[in-house]
């Protein structure tokens, strides 16, 4: 290892240690930033000689990264991964520096940073989950993002594991050298109704098929798919039992299985590893206090919400919804009007978070009666008082982090 890399790597550890002792967050990003200042090519250097997988997309990145990490860890292998969700270069540098000798790295990668990270990390596998509207004040519009992915992938020698059900992902991956198409599902179709090649209408048919009415752009035939509780792969079929709830997590697991397969993990081995994952960075975490179970869920954009509504709409338990609009959330909560909240009518709903007023107005027009409670802690307590057995909490990014701290 070159002296500069060594020095930069050492600094990452030092800063992270100090920042953890000072109680400033989990100390992953601060150290990474210092390391990158000393050596801008640190991520590339630390990836050298490793098998590297990148995971990107609008929703499911953190979960898929955790599932793939579990699959790659079988047999006691050490995997470097940014499991806390710090998915930009500083987070990558910190995760890699913390496990310098790991033979494998699985890195969750912010959609906007994918091109740069591909160039630096020279990955073996890139998993592309989906693309939909998210934080439009910070991110590019989704078509622009798909175009930038496409350019970055055409210059990479990685195998791309791509969701064949998402037209924007297919547009991005179609010119890559090696592609494994996976039937990864698509719950939110509003960003995929126009052909990304010719702007013609895209029609969705049975069994997730889709095609453009005006040009030849259509769903590629996937080689990986789900058949009830089984994963169907080119190497055969294997049962899949997950502890994580919801159809969207089964899709994440399928993408992770295909990625692990590219890196040489056996089907059964991977399925067993995935079955052991129960809680990803606090998501789907359940805690109990005074006999009331609180379920923690994260939804930060319309697609994430639509996936979760499936899971929670009919649950009778009180539901606390927390919305912030801090830097990591995006400053514009207008996306709340893209969420079909009317499905919640009949539930006891409590609106909270920094932007509870925006949420409350949104719920009014969806005709969902609700309470408002600006203070997150009070909102959770109030829900627990109203509950018979359990409480659901759904927050966007920073509100979810705050709620995790507020629950035992």
Residues that bind other proteins (CB under 8 A): 133, 136-137, 141-144, 190, 193-194, 196, 199, 201, 213, 331-332, 334-338, 357-358, 360-362, 364-365, 367
Find which of Zn ion, other proteins, none residue 361 binds, CB within 5 to 8 Å per kind.
other proteins
Find which of Zn ion, other proteins, none residue 358 binds, CB within 5 to 8 Å per kind.
other proteins
Q: Which is nearer to other proteins, 157 or 334 (CB)?
A: 334
Alpha helices (H) along 205-352:
247-262, 267-275, 302-312
Tokens of 13: 């550890």
Residue 210 found at the interface with Zn ion (CB under 5 A)? no
Q: Which is nearer to other proteins, 104 or 325 (CB)?
A: 325
Residue 203 found at the interface with Zn ion (CB under 5 A)? no
- Cα–Cα distance for residue pair 404/152, rounded to 1 Å: 36
Q: How many CB atoms lie within 10 A of CB 263?
A: 18
Q: Which is nearer to Zn ion, 32 or 196 (CB)?
A: 196
Find which of other proteins, Zn ion, none residue 212 binds, CB within 5 to 8 Å per kind.
Zn ion
- Cα–Cα distance for residue pair 319/309, rounded to 1 Å: 11
Q: How far is the CB of 364 from other proteins (least distance, A)?
A: 5
Report helix, strand or coil for 258. Answer: helix
Report helix, strand or coil for 234. Answer: coil
CB-based contact 24:30 (threshold 8 Å)? yes
Find which of Zn ion, other proteins, none residue 362 binds, CB within 5 to 8 Å per kind.
other proteins
Q: How far is the CB of 261 from other proteins (least distance, A)?
A: 35
Q: Which is nearer to other proteins, 233 or 396 (CB)?
A: 396
Q: Which is nearer to other proteins, 113 or 204 (CB)?
A: 204
- Cα–Cα distance for residue pair 199/178, rounded to 1 Å: 26
How big, in percent rounded to 5, are the helix, strand and coil portions of the chain?
A: 45, 20, 35
Q: How far is the CB of 200 from Zn ion (least distance, A)?
A: 4
- Cα–Cα distance for residue pair 369/196, rounded to 1 Å: 39
Judged by CB under 5 A, the stretch of 134-142, 190-198, 284-292, 296-304 that binds Zn ion is 190-198
Q: How far is the CB of 167 from Zn ion (least distance, A)?
A: 9
Judged by CB under 5 A, the stretch of 18-26, 210-218, 223-231, 276-284 that binds Zn ion is 210-218
Instruction: Please report how many Cα atoms fall inside a 13 Å half-sphere around the Cα of residue 301, on the Cβ side.
Output: 23
Q: How far is the CB of 203 from Zn ion (least distance, A)?
A: 11
Judged by CB under 5 A, the stretch of 53-61, 189-197, 353-361, 376-384 that binds Zn ion is 189-197
Find which of other proteins, Zn ion, none residue 143 binds, CB within 5 to 8 Å per kind.
other proteins
Interhelix angle 247-262/61-72, rounded to 10 degrees, is 40
Judged by CB under 5 A, the stretch of 76-84, 100-108, 211-219, 269-277 that binds Zn ion is 211-219
Nearest residue to 142 (alpha-carbon basis) of 170, 164, 111, 182: 111
Q: How far is the CB of 372 from other proteins (least distance, A)?
A: 8
The set of residues, in sequence order, having a beta carbon less than 8 Å from that of 346 and lying 6+ positions away, is: none
Using only C-alpha atoms, what is the Rg of the chain?
Answer: 21
Nearest residue to 278 (alpha-carbon basis) of 82, 66, 106: 66
Q: Which is nearer to other proteins, 199 or 385 (CB)?
A: 199
203 forms bridges with which residues in the sheet? Answer: 211
Q: How far is the CB of 110 from other proteins (least distance, A)?
A: 18
Angle, alpha carbons 276-281-284 (nearest 5°): 70
Binding site for Zn ion (CB under 5 A): 195, 197-198, 200, 212, 215, 217
């Amino acid at each position: 290892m070159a002296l500069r890399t060594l020095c930069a790597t050492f600094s990452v550890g030092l800063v992270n240690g100090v920042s953890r002792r000072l109680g400033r967050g989990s100390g992953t990003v601060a150290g990474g930033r210092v390391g990158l200042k000393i050596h801008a090519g640190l991520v590339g250097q630390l990836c050298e000689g490793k098998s590297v997988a990148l995971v990107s997309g609008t929703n499911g990145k953190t979960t898929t990264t955790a599932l793939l990490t579990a699959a790659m860890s079988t047999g006691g292998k050490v995997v470097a991964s940014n499991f806390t969700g710090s998915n930009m270069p500083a987070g990558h540098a910190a995760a890699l520096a913390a496990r310098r000798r790991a033979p494998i790295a699985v890195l969750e990668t912010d959609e906007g940073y994918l091109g740069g990270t591909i160039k630096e990390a020279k990955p073996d596998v890139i998993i592309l989950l989906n693309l939909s509207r998210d934080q439009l004040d910070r991110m590019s519009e989704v078509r622009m993002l798909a175009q930038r992915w496409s350019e970055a992938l055409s210059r990479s020698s990685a195998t791309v594991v791509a969701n064949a059900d998402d037209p924007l992902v297919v547009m991005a991956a179609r010119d890559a050298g090696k592609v494994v198409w996976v039937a990864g599902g698509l719950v939110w179709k509003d960003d995929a109704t126009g052909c990304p090649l010719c702007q013609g209408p895209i029609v969705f048919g049975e069994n997730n098929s889709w095609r453009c009415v005006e040009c030849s752009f259509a769903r590629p035939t996937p080689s990986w798919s789900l058949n009830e509780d089984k994963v169907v792969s080119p190497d055969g079929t294997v049962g899949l039992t997950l502890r994580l709830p919801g159809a969207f997590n089964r899709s994440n697991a399928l993408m992770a299985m295909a990625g692990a397969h590219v890196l040489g993990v056996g089907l059964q081995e991977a399925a067993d590893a995935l079955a052991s994952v129960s809680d990803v960075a606090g998501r789907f975490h359940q805690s109990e206090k005074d006999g009331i179970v609180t379920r923690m869920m994260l939804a930060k954009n319309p697609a994430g919400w639509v996936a979760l509504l499936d899971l929670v709409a009919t649950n009778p338990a009180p539901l606390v919804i927390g919305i912030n609009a801090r830097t990591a959330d995006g400053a514009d909560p207008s996306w709340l009007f893209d969420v079909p909240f009317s499905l919640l009518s009949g539930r006891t709903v409590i609106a909270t978070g920094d932007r509870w007023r925006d949420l409350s107005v949104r719920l009014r027009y969806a005709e969902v009666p609700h309470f408002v409670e600006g203070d997150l802690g009070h909102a959770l307590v109030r829900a627990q008082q109203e509950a018979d057995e359990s409480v659901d909490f759904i927050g966007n990014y920073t509100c979810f982090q705050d709620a995790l701290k507020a629950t035992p």
